[in-house]
Amino acid sequence: MTGWPGGHASEASLLAVRSGLAEPLADLRAQTRHECPGRTAAIIDARIGQMITGQGGLEPFGELTDAEQAVVAVAEQFLLDAHGVDDALMARLTASYTPAETIAIMFQLAFADGFTKLRRVMGLPSDHQGGDD
C-alpha cells in the first residue's frame, strides 16, 4: 500500500493535523488502555492487529485465562461482524469483569478495530505509543 496522500507517513503526523482533536483523543485512548484490567488491552491489540494485518499474535502471552479467552472471543466477533456479538458471548465477558471494566474493554476494542483499520487503509505503519494494535 502507498502512503497517505497528504504526505503523512505515520498515524501521529496524520492526527497532528487536527491538534485540537488529537489531544483529547490521545487522552481518551490512554485512559481506556489504563482502565482495561490486567493484560486485556494488550491482548485485544495483539489479536485485532493479527486479524487485520496478519502480523503478531497471542503467542507471547502464553496461556490465557478463561476471562482473557472470553475477551479474545468477543474481539474476534466484534471485528468480523459486531451483529454476532450475542448475549451468550457478552455473558462470558460480564461473568468475569465489572461493568466499568467491561466498558473499558469495549472501548479498547473499538479503538483497536477502528485505528488498526484506519492505518491499514491509509497505508500507515503502527506508530502509536501504547498502540491499538
Partner 1 sequence: MSTVPRLPSAVEGQPAHFGTLLAHHPGLAVAFGSTYANFWTQGVLDHPTKETTRIRNARITDCGY
Residues 1-60 that bind partner 1 (CB under 8 A): 18, 20-21, 24-25, 27-28, 31-32, 35
Dist. CA 89–CA 86, nearest whole Å: 5
> What are the residue ranges of helices labelled H in 17-98?
19-35, 40-53, 66-80, 87-94
When asked if residue 107 is in the footprint of partner 1 (CB under 8 A), the reply is yes
Taking CB under 8 A as the criterion, the residue among 9, 80, 82, 95 binding partner 1 is: 82
Phi/psi zone of residue 57: left (φ > 0), alpha (ψ -120 to 50 degrees), beta?
left
CA nearest to 127, candidates 40, 14, 25: 14
- Tell me how far, at minimum, the Cβ of 81 lies from partner 1, in Å: 10
Q: How many residues bind partner 1 (CB under 8 A)?
A: 24
Catalog residues that contact partner 1 under the rule CB under 8 A: 18, 20-21, 24-25, 27-28, 31-32, 35, 82-83, 86-87, 90-91, 94, 98-100, 102-104, 107
